[in-house]
Amino acid sequence: MKGGFGMAFGKDNPIKEHFAQNDISGFLAEGTEIKGEIRFRDVLRVDGKISGKIESEGELVVGESGEIDAELHVGILSVSGKVAGTMKVREKVEIHAKGRISGELTVEKPNLVIHEGAVFEGDVNMNAAKKDPAQKPMAPKNPNIASVEPIRRESA
């Protein structure tokens, strides 16, 4: 096992165990707090608190007691705790039933899963890898359809 520490992953864990313990780069236990910049490979499981900046091509797993307030650049984000800040994710974002995300979320691929009971507050930019910033809004396909005028209301 990498890192020489044991992990408490039980049957009651809402985060799917789609990775082996040997894939975990690090584990931040409940009651631990880090402020600063963190970089990791593979998978980082957070049950404590992190504030600052987190970068990885791998997966960030935030457990139910985990709290993050940071600028994130990760491959996959899986949340059962709380995450706030600016988040840029390459592959997938999954917010589990007790998870809460607030802030600005950019996902390069259109892969966002929000389970029942989860909360997302903020802005989402999906499929960001394929969007061209110079792209103009699409014109109506049928040229016979006139543009819609805004409703004007006057008070009496």
Q: Domain count of the chain?
A: 1
pLDDT of 102 reads: 97
Position 11, amino acid? K
Is the residue at 51 inside a domain? yes
Q: How far apart are CA 39 and CA 104, in angstroms?
A: 21
Distance from C-alpha of 125 to C-alpha of 113, rounded to nearest angstrom = 14
Question: What distance in Å separates the CA atoms of residue 13 and residue 111, rounded to the nearest whole number?
Answer: 22
pLDDT-derived band at 144, boundaries 50, 70, 90 = low
Q: What is the pLDDT of residues 60-76, one digit of tens each?
A: 999 999 999 999 999 99
Whether the pLDDT of residue 143 is over 50: the answer is yes
Residue range 78-90: mean pLDDT, rounded: 97
Backbone angles phi, psi at 144, to 5 degrees: -80, -10
Which stretches does DSSP call E strand in 40-126? 43-46, 49-55, 59-62, 67-79, 82-95, 100-107, 112-114, 119-126
Domain presence at residue 20: no
Q: What are the tokens at 148? A: 């819609």
Terminal C-alpha separation, the chain: 75
Residue 130 clears pLDDT 80, i.e. is over it: no
> pLDDT tens digit string along 7-28?
444 444 444 444 455 567 788 9
Give the mean model confidence (pLDDT) for residues 41-52. Answer: 95
Q: Does 97 reside within a domain?
A: yes
Q: What is the pLDDT of residue 111?
A: 93
pLDDT over threshold 60, residue 147: no
Q: What percent of the chain has pLDDT over 90?
A: 61
pLDDT band of 99, cuts 50, 70, 90: very high
122 inside domain? yes
Looking at the domain assignment, is residue 13 inside a domain?
no
Q: What is d(CA 38, CA 138) in angstroms, rounded to the nearest whole number? A: 41
Q: Is residue 9 part of a domain?
A: no
Does this model's pTM top 0.85? no
Give the pLDDT confidence score for residue 134 in this predicted structure: 56
Residue 85 corresponds to which tokens in the numbers above?
A: 């800040």
